[in-house]
Structure 1
Amino acid sequence: MLIGYARVSTADQDLTLQTDALAKAGCERVFTDKASGAKDDRPGLAEALAFARSGDCLVIWKLDRLGRSIQGLIALAADLSARKVDFRSLTDGFDTSTASGRLLFHVLAAVAEMERELNKERTIAGLAAARAKGGKGGGRKPALSPDKLDTARKLLAAGDKPAKVAKLLQVGLSTFYRHFPANERETAAQ
């Protein structure tokens, strides 16, 4: 029996592309998860693995849908092999029922992990470069610029209420209060 497994990382992502491909490949049963591949607790994968019997084939759309580390992927493949359950990836084009498919699986798992590590290194290097240029090195820009903060201080000193100042600066009241806690508002008003 062909058993499909599909996963997306967040609840707002759509599984349709994967589930359609699995159905087209002939999967009689498809299990799904909406969870990060780094998480060990994925109920859909656990169900798929428990459902699989000797002679079945676990089919996935792409290798990274199963996990994020070589160790995890190899351990899963070894477990499936010990249970005589084959493993196939539609996009990556391998099938562990063949010797060449097993070799390709190991090569692709290594490349996928290397790609994740390189991406992590590039991100860290980019953040360091941004910090070296005087930036924060990532994250959102502040809602209130130094000019707007100065304006807010002057308006508070003039006796304007926080809600009015926040509206004039076009920011939410909670954003305003984050920049001007109660003790700072009292100091500005004096």
Structure 2
Amino acid sequence: MGELLGYARVSTAEQTVDAQSDALRAAGCSRIWIDTASGATTSRPELDDLLTHLRPGDTLVVWRLDRLGRSLPHLLQTVESFREKDVAFKSLTEAIDTTTSGGRLIFSIFGAIAEFERNLIRERTQVGLTAARERGRVGGRPPKMTPARIKQAKRMRDSGMHLTEIAEVIGVGRTTLYRHLK
């Protein structure tokens, strides 16, 4: 059997990680990695380091699910990557342990819920876009280069002005200007 490796995270330096660390030690973790970072951030150096230490047969242990994942889909993706490496996952507060059939069942249910949520969002978005189109509304941001601006840019170019200067005067990027003056 592999090692139990713990991961704890707090969002700000003012918060304490003591309760998480105590619970992880009590669960038998031989080592604990601690990050101070928002759950929404992708930069978590201690978690990255921990992931390099995981070996087949090991179990990553967290105090609560939200300490590891930014969202349910992110959490599911992370735990699935563990499974592919023969690494188990355990959350103490939610009593989830992927080394047991019950823990795997709970994670399968989470996966189904996340997929259902994604499908609902996709369906609602499509219905909204269709309704907007039927009312004559076109999506996307308005173009920066209106016909009047294109005409002005062509006059400026024909008078010998450099394209970089034209882009600056009109207030668009050079790439946008080049695309419209082809």
TM-score by length of 1: 0.52
Residues 120-131 of structure 1: matches in 2 within 5 Å? 120-127=122-129
Q: C-alpha separation between the residues in 2 aligned to 1:76 and 1:86? A: 8
1:112 paired residue number? 114
State the secondary structure of the residue aligned to 1:29: strand
Which of these residues, 52, 70, 76, is aligned with residue 83 of structure 2? 76
Deviation track 1:128-161 (CA, whole Å, cap 9, x = no partner) reads 55566352x44x5432122211222233344444
* Pair 1:4 & 2:18 matched: no
**Cα deviation code 1:38-90 (max 9, x no counterpart):** xxxx965753541863xx55224245443349xx749829x45xxxx551175
Summarize deviations over 1:70-120 as a string: whole Å, max 9, x none: xx749829x45xxxx551175xx3422888655543322221222123233
Q: Which residue is 1:25 aligned to?
A: 20
Identity %: 26
Write out aligned runs for 1:121-160 (5 A): 121-127=123-129, 133=136, 135=138, 137-138=139-140, 140-160=141-161
Where structure 1 has 5 or more consecutive residues not aligned to the other structure, the ranges are: 6-14, 36-41, 182-190
Report matched runs for 1:91-110 at 5 Å: 93-96=94-97, 103-110=105-112
SS at match of 1:25: helix
- Verify: 1:171 aligned to 2:176, yes or no: no
What displacement does 1:17 show? 2.5
Question: Separation in 2 of the partners of 1:45 and 1:165?
Answer: 52
TM-score computed with the length of structure 2 as normaliser:
0.54
Judging changes above 3 Å, is the alpha-carbon distance between structure 1 residues 86 and 180 closer, same or farther for their aligned structure 2 residues? closer
Shift in alpha-carbon separation, 1:125–1:75, aligned structure 2, 3 A = farther
Residue 50 (str. 1) matches residue 52 (str. 2): no
Q: How much does 1:169 deviate? A: 0.9
Question: In the alignment, which residue of structure 2 is the partner of 1:87?
Answer: 90
Structure 2's unaligned 5+ residue stretches are 25-30, 36-40
Q: d(CA) in 1 for partners of 2:17 and 2:50?
A: 15
Distance 1:43 1:109 in 2: 23
State the alpha-carbon separation in 1 of the partners of residues 81 and 165 from structure 2: 60
Aligned residues: 153
The verdict on how the C-alpha distance between 1:107 and 1:173 changes in structure 2, with shifts beyond 3 A counting, is: closer
